Amino acid sequence: MALPTFVIGGARKSGTTALWAFMAEHPQVWMSRLKEPHFLTRDANHPAPGVTIIGARKARTHERGLEWYETLFEEGVDCAARGEASTSYLVAPDTPELIEQLLPGLKVVFVLRNPVDRAYSDYWHQVKRGHQVPPFSAVMDDDPALRHLLYTGRYAQHVERFRAVLGDERLHLVLFDDLRADPAEAYRGVCRFIGVDDGFQPDFTVEHNPHEEPMNEMLQRVIAGTTYRRWRFIPRFVRRPARRLREFLRTRNLRRATYPPMDPDLAGRLREYFEDDIAYVERLTRPLPGWRGERDRAA
């Protein structure tokens, strides 16, 4: 069976798209062309009671069965390694169980970013896509609409769940900081972990998933409202061109931008909130002064 030998997880806005693209260039690696299949969780939309993802809801692909999942990798049956990238796996409580049940031996790569910066970047990513969300200042008020931003950054809880089931030998952590500062070395580490030649280097100059903002917010909200749930009412022969038109309008309505700096007081409160999680990642990797606000954070 042509099933994956590894998966890339991590939180949204942590560099998973970049790593997925870099790995896809490797001649010994087959990456599913469908990014974010979310197969190894029964529900990618509700990772915990009272916690719902921000943005468009994900399809319940696990219900399609293992045969459907295999079709994502069948073209790479002769490759030394096959993989896919789904950000939902980090926070999904049932992913370790499903891995052991369906794909024993599967390796997991997690990309972790400063949880404060990650939450803020994820927030503006949703704004970019036209989703209506409360002001970011409400993130510490337990606003249900923003609860997922904090829940995602509880790295100690999420990573430890995988360590308990898979063991450290099947888990590899990549820091967003390293992926940006020295992508070649971070890439070599992943190659060694999945068992392919670590001498190959992809094009690291291409920027993946940059921050953009909508030029017409109303149009972006309309586009964001056309979720996958509504596609089922459209005849099959119309769906593909409709999706292409939707993506064309979405991308043409975006322009490169920078989001405003975070309020320093709020950033300090968030660092206190994530203190245990930052310390946990430091124990598994190395000291992370940037995560503690001891130097300017990466934009």
* Domains of the chain: residue spans and CATH: 6-114+146-207+275-292 (3.40.50.300)
Residue with tokens 């070395």: 185
Q: Is the pLDDT of residue 252 over 80?
A: no
Helix (H, G, I), strand (E, B) or coil at 10: strand
pLDDT at 18 over 60: yes
C-alpha angle with apex 119: 258 to 98, nearest 5 degrees? Answer: 130
Strands 254-256 and 212-214: antiparallel
pLDDT (0 to 100) of residue 296: 47
Is the Cβ–Cβ distance between 207 and 17 less than 8 Å?
no
Comparing 247 with 76, the larger pLDDT belongs to 76
Say which amino acid occupies 197. D
Residue 187 is predicted with a pLDDT of: 98
pLDDT at 167 > cutoff 50: yes
Residues 6+ apart with CB under 8 A from 272: none
Strand order in the sheet with 107-112: 29-31, 81-85, 6-10, 107-112, 171-175
Rounded CA separation 13/119 (Å): 8
Mean confidence (pLDDT) of the chain: 89
- Which pTM value belongs to this model? 0.83
* List of E strands, 11-168: 29-31, 81-85, 107-112
pLDDT at 247 over 80: no
| The residue to which tokens 């590894």 are assigned | 6
Q: 297: pLDDT confidence band, cut at 50, 70 and 90? A: very low
CA 88 – CA 83 distance, rounded (Å): 15
Separation of alpha carbons 135 and 54, rounded Å: 13
Question: Out of 36-50, 133-147, 201-215, 237-251, which region has the weakest mean confidence (pLDDT)?
Answer: 237-251
Tens digits of residue pLDDT in 92-114: 999 999 999 999 999 999 999 99
Higher pLDDT, 226 or 195: 195
Beta bridge partners of 8: 85, 109
